[in-house]
Structure 1
Amino acid sequence: MFKDHAKIINAISAAGEVTGRKKLQKIIFIAKKLSFPFQEKFSFHFYGPYSEELTLRIEELCNMGYLSEVREKKAGYYQYCYSITDPGMDFLTMHELDMPALGDCLLDMNAQNARFLELVSTVLYFDALERDEVVEKIATLKSKQKYTHEEIDQAYAYIDQLKEKAKVN
């Protein structure tokens, strides 16, 4: 049980700080699709892949004091920033995690904006489909985002780049 908690703490620690609940969901989903051993189950929701399990696990980690959740007021909404605490660092030292390439991938993903990660995670969610079918899904399910074909091409290229990073180490 606590091994899965440690993986989430490790991910946030590797990323430094993650700003946004949606972004955190997308980062963990993408990492899972890159074959990193995250166990949370995801289903497709309004903003793309979403895991209730991950939401609950993050809440537990914040309640235990292992993660810090800071709520910041933005233009008409609140944004949440997550970082590891000192007790979280202590907790991590009690769990051996062998994911050497995870840090590079997470730092890279964390540098991307949430809109792009939503596109990347949506492409990965439908990775069993042919590319033209994925493009159609994006046009239908993500019509409000108005993703261009160029952005979709960039998402596919970014996925390839992340796959290379994930197997380098």
Structure 2
Amino acid sequence: MNSNSALAGLLQLVAASGGLVSTRIRIQKEAFLLALKGCLNFRAENFSYHHFGPFSRQLSETLKFAVSAGLLEEKEEAFSETTQRYSYYITESARKFLEEVNAIPNEVLNYVTAMNKEHWRSLELAATVAYLGRTKGLSREAAFTAAKELKPDTVPYAEEAKKVLQTLAI
């Protein structure tokens, strides 16, 4: 994925989310799940395992570039006493950029709409399960078991994570 297609994919993801994506974790997990579907120029091989599941340094760098270029607006808020949460809003400059890119396919809009209904922890678990299945060759059940051991905070979201994977047919 070259930097222009990564940028277009990121902006299309935020646009498909109604112009706002809350948390970097959500962006990373949605992008990974879309990569598994072959959507928005995201590539699953650009993701490696990180604390919150599949993570793409390239996507992280593209996000920073989009903010510095004025294509996305970043808002920071306190998430807890020790952590911050970042939300990203599409700007008018990004809308103009996207006018030159192909329209977002309805299938992608449906996927993003479905993912946006779920808690980010559900996406974290779903993406981790899919990642472990893909990279370790684990069955769905074994991947869920491994993911829940790696990420005990996601255990209450297991049913929602299964729903995400089923909805996306991953």
Both structures adopt the same fold (TM-score exceeding 0.5): yes
Is contact 1:29–1:49 with CA below 8 Å preserved after alignment? yes
Q: Is 1:38 the equivalent of 2:46?
A: no
**Structure 2: stretches of 5+ with no match in the other structure:** none
Equivalence for 2:145 = 136
Map Cα deviations across residues 91-123 of structure 1 (whole Å, 9 max, x no partner).
Answer: 111222563311121122122111111111011
Aligned residue pairs total 161
Residue 103 of structure 1 is aligned with which of 99, 109, 112?
A: 109
The equivalences for 1:76-87 within 5 A come to 76=81, 77-87=83-93
RMSD: 2.0
Offset, 1:138: 1.7
Offset, 1:9: 0.3
Is contact 2:14–2:90 with CA below 8 Å preserved after alignment? yes
Counterpart of 2:167, as a letter, is: Q
The equivalences for 1:1-169 within 5 A come to 1-16=3-18, 17-36=20-39, 37-39=41-43, 41-76=46-81, 77-97=83-103, 99-127=105-133, 128-142=137-151, 144-145=152-153, 147=155, 151-163=157-169
Map Cα deviations across residues 110-161 of structure 1 (whole Å, 9 max, x no partner).
Answer: 221111111110111122311332133124322x32616xx53542333121
Residue identity (%) = 25
Q: Kindly tell me: are residues 99 and 145 of structure 1, through their superposed partners in 2, closer, same or farther at Cα, counting changes over 3 Å?
A: same
Counterpart of 1:129, as a letter, is: L
TM-score normalised to the size of structure 2?
Answer: 0.84
Tell me the SS of whatever aligns to 1:68: strand
1: CA distance between counterparts of 2:154 and 2:165? 20
**Structure 1: stretches of 5+ with no match in the other structure:** 165-169
2: CA distance between counterparts of 1:163 and 1:131? 12
Map Cα deviations across residues 20-67 of structure 1 (whole Å, 9 max, x no partner).
Answer: 111111111111112213136100111111111110000001111111
> Runs of at least 4 residues of structure 1 off by over 3 A?
151-154
Is contact 1:20–1:79 with CA below 8 Å preserved after alignment? yes
TM-score normalised to the size of structure 1?
Answer: 0.85
Tell me which of the two structures has the higher relative contact order, counting C-alpha pairs closer than 8 angstroms and 6 or more residues apart: 1
1: CA distance between counterparts of 2:120 and 2:91? 24
